[in-house]
């Protein structure tokens, strides 16, 4: 069992929810407006302001990019109102996971945040990661990135007590996944193709209501760390391997201290020790309802916050009334 962190005890779990709520509500003003950058910028600005109100000495280890490329919430940025005096916290964040979804008013856009003690979240470079995930209840290492699609599906199906073709697998709808999709079709699996938002896709494997059994495919490495933090809290398995397209990306990995470029990471290597994961729905989705604007200026949000040491999952519905 994961031991509770005294450092994280100083940060109220609900404070993390307030941060993701702020980002979600700000981004919601741009839902369906067709402007991805504006929606992302609104979420970033709101999340940064909320983080800077917390009494902590925080460092962004998964953010919006490197300092020269991102004006706010870049990797290495310091946040919090107690620099040098407060608890040292590593932060992985995606103020708007699903910028395209938000711009098009699609489903499952989220504001996402994970925190852990200093040194416990992988400093993942902004490259792709090959990923595979399942929910809780299976034998350790039942999934393996070195095994074929057919072998992984067969292993999960056998333990679940169903035929391989009875499984439903979540895959990002991208041309690079044509081979995976074709192989899953040959097996007879159902495929949930999602346009964006692979953190929500991975988390879907842990919720029986989604009917998703597995997640497969490549997506952003930072999102892999966030998804791993969530699975640390609620159970499940995740394997990730960084993918590099050129020497520049390999150089970035070395810059962040990654020496073994072919390493397959387990979720406990991506997110160690005690951690807290929080997400607030921006648009409506299978995991969370989106931001709703009611009469009189009242806004409602739905969030989930999880903690690894306790295994607690809290669903938070909030009403934000105009001041």
The reported pTM is 0.89
Share of the chain above pLDDT 70, in %: 95
Q: Report the DSSP beta bridge partners of residue 243.
A: 128
pLDDT at 6: 66
Query: Is residue 202 within 8 Å of residue 238, measured between CB atoms?
Result: yes
pLDDT recorded at residue 1? 62
Instruction: Label residue 310 by pLDDT band (50, 70, 90).
Output: confident
pLDDT in tens, 51-89: 999 989 999 998 887 655 556 788 889 999 999 998 899
- Give pLDDT, residue 12: 62
pLDDT recorded at residue 146: 96
**249 and 283 housed in the same domain:** no
Angstrom distance (rounded) from CA 238 to CA 313: 19
Indicate which CATH number applies to the domain containing 106: 3.30.540.10
Collapsed DSSP state (helix, strand, coil) of residue 224: helix
Residue 297 lies in a domain: yes
Distance of CA 206 to the CA centre of its chain: 13
Q: How far apart are CA 243 and CA 47, in angstroms?
A: 29
Task: Tell me the two tokens of residue 185.
Answer: 């079709």
1 falls within a domain:
no
- Check whether residue 257 and residue 192 sit in a common domain: yes
Residue 208 CB neighbours (<10 A): 9
**Do 95 and 18 belong together in one domain?**
yes
Range of the domain at 145: 128-270
Q: Which of 270, 288, 311 delimits the end of a domain?
A: 270
Do 258 and 158 share a structural domain?
A: yes
Contacts of residues 189-193 at CB distance under 8 Å and 24 or more positions apart, as own/partner, are 189/153, 189/164, 189/165, 192/168
């Amino acid at each position: 069992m994961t031991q509770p962190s005294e450092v994280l005890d100083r940060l109220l779990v609900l404070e993390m929810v307030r941060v993701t709520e702020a980002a979600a509500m700000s981004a919601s003003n741009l839902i369906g407006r067709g402007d991805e950058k504006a929606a992302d910028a609104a979420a970033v600005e709101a999340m940064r302001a909320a983080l800077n109100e917390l009494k902590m000495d925080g460092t962004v280890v998964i953010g919006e990019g490197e300092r020269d490329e991102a004006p706010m919430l870049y990797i290495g940025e310091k946040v919090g109102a107690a620099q040098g005096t407060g608890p040292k916290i590593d932060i992985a964040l995606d103020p708007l996971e699903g910028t395209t979804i938000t711009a098009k008013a699609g489903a499952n856009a989220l504001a996402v945040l994970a925190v852990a003690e200093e040194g416990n979240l992988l400093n993942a470079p902004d490259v792709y990661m090959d990923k595979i995930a399942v929910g809780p209840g299976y034998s350790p290492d039942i999934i393996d990135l070195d095994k074929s699609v057919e072998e992984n599906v067969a292993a999960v199906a056998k333990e679940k007590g169903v035929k391989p073709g009875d499984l439903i697998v979540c895959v990002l709808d991208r041309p690079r996944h044509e081979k995976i999709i074709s192989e899953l079709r040959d097996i007879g699996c159902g495929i949930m193709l999602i346009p964006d938002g692979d953190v929500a896709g991975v988390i879907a494997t842990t919720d029986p209501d989604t009917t998703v059994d597995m997640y497969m495919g490549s997506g952003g490495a930072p999102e892999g760390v966030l998804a791993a933090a969530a699975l640390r809290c609620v159970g499940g398995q995740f394997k990730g391997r960084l993918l590099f397209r050129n020497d520049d990306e390999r150089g970035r990995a070395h810059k962040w201290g990654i020496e073994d470029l072919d390493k397959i990471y387990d979720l406990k290597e991506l997110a160690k020790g005690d951690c807290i994961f929080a997400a607030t729905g921006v648009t409506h989705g299978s995991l969370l309802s989106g931001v709703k604007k009611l009469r009189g200026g009242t806004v409602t949000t739905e969030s989930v916050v999880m903690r690894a040491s306790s295994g607690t999952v809290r669903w938070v519905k909030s009403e934000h009334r105009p001041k």
